[in-house]
A and B are shown apart, each in its own frame.
Chain A
């Protein structure tokens, strides 16, 4: 049986000074991890900001956790149950890691100091930052700051977790650790993971949404999307000028994506990145996804 939807969007439209960021987007999310892919300017951040209740759409209906976010009472009830990591997160310069999460915990209505400090320790432990808790945030590395941002989003075990580029600047070892953390969160919460890292989506998500120019191009299983690239990815000794993308791999062979069996080539299994490139066509930034 399907769980009731955590997110239910109908016809969501948002414009900024004549530019359409989202155009009549319909979306339903349930517990589990959903990946959100798309080139820069596709509308991913706008969508997350609307879901985080910090931005109103120009048109359409929003229902989060069974409520419409209008009026102070329903809005506060939704906000109590959501965690949000924005794409660009600033920190007060003078705060220590612990003090910042403590500050955010107060904003999330943890008023009693004892339980609040326990919760702060819990989320710092989750993101492996317990050792740097007393350090000033300005003394932390970029990856550590990103994890501080993630820690505040995890306060109170939110039912809806909205993460905009959570693994940016995080080293490979920490990325694996964060994947374990997010995969555990996805067992009880609805997690929407906006990212440019297709490997994170492939590793974590059972569903992927691809946005482009404010519209949903794909909404379905990850393997479903990967299957659309079957038979269109080839390894060859030379690059194929007719391919959508072509690059030299570590083995010395060229990976030609979006082409029909160049001479002397061998077919290879497509990845999510290949399928994403093919779905977006010329709109995809090859350097972006191949990074």
Chain B
């Protein structure tokens, strides 16, 4: 059906701008449904800029990645958005890694619950090494495919490593502590494994100024496995947590932190790490 009249330019312009008023607006709208001539003309009055702006917004929303849950948590913890992006990119903070870690710890807890002395040895073997492995997976050529190109960027590698280490400790240690709560026979003193865990993490950080973090972590893990294994064979795995040894772990951790500070002052990450 064709209309017998056509809306004039001013009416169409006011309609498009939304200022035609309720009665006139409804009238023009009804007319447009029947009149192809006016429908064709109305497009002339629709400003192009808003369409471009809307399209640009859609494009941006599609392109820009949404912050991951890890990034959001890091921002809530006080990190800037850009630092959170860098920290969350560490493999040891990804969901898959954390799920794997939780699974491993669940398995450890079950083994300990049913394994008596051997189970306890198993727990003491694994627990202090969890943050160590996390630190090793936080930074370096073994875990970061874009490591070399990242090294040529101005963001300080030491800052990145320390930020990721702090995040790894903050996520992995509570998981291990929670696991230890379901282990029967562990009293409060059993949480002493936190001392070697922190000391070993500091040792890996300090050693990574000379060698790859993965190499340092492997050496630490082998040393700890020998110590726990020997203690379990000779007497009791808990012998690795005697007061004397705990004092030794404290000293080791302090020494590692001092070495790390000295090495960072000399900017070791400007040198070859690969």
Contacts and interface: CB of A to CB of B under 8 A. Distances in A.
Interface of A: 49, 52-56, 69-72, 75-77, 79-80, 82, 84-86, 89-94, 96, 98-100, 102-104, 106-111, 113, 116-117, 121, 133-134, 149, 152-153
Interface in B48-62: 60, 62
Contacts of A133: 63
Given A79-B152, A103-B85, A103-B146, 7 more contacts: A53-B270, A54-B272, A70-B270, A75-B267, A92-B145, A96-B65, A98-B64
Interface in B138-165: 144-156
Interface string B63-91: 11100000000000000111001100100
Contacts of A54: 148, 151-152, 272
Contacts of B235: none
A54 B62 CA distance: 35
A90 B270 contact: no
B154 A89 contact: no
A76 B156 contact: yes
A184 to B, nearest CB: 22
B154 A103 contact: no
Interface of B: 60, 62-65, 80-82, 85-86, 89, 94, 144-156, 267, 270-272
Contacts of B149: 84-86, 89, 104, 149, 152-153
Contacts of A85: 149
Contacts of B80: 111
Given A70-B270, A72-B270, A111 B145 contact: no
Contacts of A104: 146, 149-150, 153
Which 8 pairs, one residue from A and one from B, show the smallest C-beta to C-beta distance? Answer: A90-B145, A107-B153, A79-B154, A99-B65, A84-B152, A76-B154, A107-B155, A52-B152
5 contacts: A53-B152, A91-B146, A93-B145, A103-B85, A109-B153
A142 B150 CA distance: 20
A212 to B, nearest CB: 24
Contacts of B144: 90, 92
A49 B155 CA distance: 18
Given A98-B63, A134-B62, A92 B89 contact: yes
B75 to A, nearest CB: 12
A133 B64 CA distance: 9
A106 B270 contact: no
A86 B155 contact: no
A52 to B, nearest CB: 4
B145 A72 contact: no
Contact of A106 (B94, B151, B155, B156): B155
Nearest to A85: B149
